[in-house]
Structure 1
């Protein structure tokens, strides 16, 4: 495989449909789309010098510059030069203002935009963290440096993009499967790069974030867990976290934690009759066994010992 990003004026012919964008009767840009089951690939070819071209994506995008030059200004994030071979994480709903200082028919500016399905992103993120065993999605100060974190020049990412372009043009009965696998590789390579935190911040859906929180509660069921702890883990304010959690699960975070602890308590009681109630309470993060017994009875209708006699 070539070490250079694919540059092909014939690439446009592979796309399902094309749209021509004209301003004042002058053809400025050609747009095209290819899609598979879980990803869309947008191709942009600008053939005329242009300034202050406005653009905005409804979903987060992985963009890759193929050839030419452009200057991109992101609302609230600054202005920077975008060169061939560079990848850019573009947040959803972010207003872009783009200049094409040298585009021409002979030397068009070409760019790709990958929009992966949320389920594919979730699978790739899960596979990555299954191997790394860390869920740190924040920088040390909780902030993301746009110029350092969203703009990448990485040879392995370019190689993966090259292969994705090949797969999108290949006629193969298992085309969607190969595209999915290679897109997951692309995502994992981004997660291995300095853009990991920025990618997660923009691509992880709220549902994925809440799935992580649910798993966090299960892993820490033996410790005291507060809403403040969970909101920090989710990298959200306490009020926003509380609202999102309740919208996702239908109950408050505290109710969810209690339910999980009570489910675990029932399993422990049924599995072992020689453990004291005090020990079970401590194993579930309770410092007061009386309070544990009260919550258990409220949840099951039985005291722990009554529940034990009923089920053993």
Structure 2
């Protein structure tokens, strides 16, 4: 280990480079940037990301972030410690590789809308689905494997990864809207409050008072700007948190749904399954199996 902050292990291939960062002590305003488009994915712990012109946000296990080349990041590590380091994967993918995947998709996977596939939205923050999680686990193995054909293996996995992320990007709902809200917006403060208090009871009436609006005006404004209702937003954020917590095999389902602010197991199961197409127990079992196989 060279440093307690952002200790880095790197692997380089033909079309991509993978960096695994470990942080073993609390730190603030750690600066980082890459000269190629990068996919950052949290493995363990918590970061607070500060991106240019965007509201700061928590970056948790099970989440990923797509960044453009030369995007300057400022990162806080509020929970890192020697016994429980923060771990994050960052994979820089060549633009030539991305363009070849786009060409493949336009020739073989045309959109129903007749529009062509194009570059993904940058600063796209999303929760990994099971497919993306398993690809990232496989790539972690392949990059470190001493195999004569690993460039070929990695190349195929990269194509699938880019396709899945682009398809996820097409289905995004409120990510861009929350990032683009002005920092002095009344909704920005409400969103920050929601994210910091997911474990508590959150009610539209109380949130509207924080925004200094009537409940009906708050509901309309929220849905107009973000494209979803306040309750849908709260559930989305709670499921993002749950996805990260379920990756800890020591956590019980009950601990997870209570820590995420759900009052009943049945409601948690229903909301989780609508987002992940799996029940929480099935999701946790598959995560354990994926780690064992990788």
TM-score (ref. length: structure 2): 0.53
> 1:39, 1:117 within 8 Å by CA — same for their partners in 2?
yes
Q: Aligned equivalents of 1:145 and 1:184: distance in 2?
A: 18
- Of structures 1 and 2, the larger Rg is shown by 1
Give the corresponding residue for 2:18.
41
Instruction: Give the match's secondary structure for 2:66.
Output: strand
Cα deviation for residue 119 of structure 1 reads 2.3
Give the corresponding residue for 2:103.
126
2:130 to 132, 146, 155: 155
Cα deviation for residue 170 of structure 1 reads 2.0
Query: Aligned ranges for residues 1-312 of structure 1 at < 5 Å?
Result: 20-21=2-3, 27-134=4-111, 135-136=115-116, 149-194=124-169
Cα deviation for residue 145 of structure 1 reads 9.3
- Indicate the RMSD between aligned Cα atoms, in angstroms: 2.5
> 1:66, 1:84 within 8 Å by CA — same for their partners in 2?
yes
Give the corresponding residue for 1:259.
none
Instruction: Give the match's secondary structure for 1:177.
Output: helix
Offset from partner CA, 1:105-126 (integer Å, 9 cap, x none): 1101011111112222122111
> 2:34, 2:92 within 8 Å by CA — same for their partners in 1?
no
Q: Aligned equivalents of 2:99 and 2:42: distance in 1?
A: 25
Q: Aligned equivalents of 2:160 and 2:117: distance in 1?
A: 19
Instruction: Give the match's secondary structure for 1:150.
Output: strand
> 1:29, 1:48 within 8 Å by CA — same for their partners in 2?
no
Cα deviation for residue 195 of structure 1 reads 5.8
**Which segments of structure 1 move beyond 4 Å, counting only runs of 4 or more?**
136-139
Q: Aligned equivalents of 1:83 and 1:137: distance in 2?
A: 29
Instruction: Give the match's secondary structure for 2:159.
Output: helix
Q: How many residues align?
A: 169
**Which has the higher relative contact order, 1 or 2, with Cα contacts under 8 A spaced 6 or more apart?**
2
Gaps of 5+ in 2: 173-294
Offset from partner CA, 1:166-186 (integer Å, 9 cap, x none): 111222211110001101110
Instruction: Give the match's secondary structure for 2:169.
Output: coil
Instruction: Give the match's secondary structure for 2:36.
Output: coil
Gaps of 5+ in 1: 1-17, 22-26, 198-312
Q: Aligned equivalents of 1:78 and 1:57: distance in 2?
A: 21
> 1:86, 1:154 within 8 Å by CA — same for their partners in 2?
no
Instruction: Give the match's secondary structure for 2:61.
Output: coil
Offset from partner CA, 1:251-288 (integer Å, 9 cap, x none): xxxxxxxxxxxxxxxxxxxxxxxxxxxxxxxxxxxxxx
Cα deviation for residue 138 of structure 1 reads 7.9
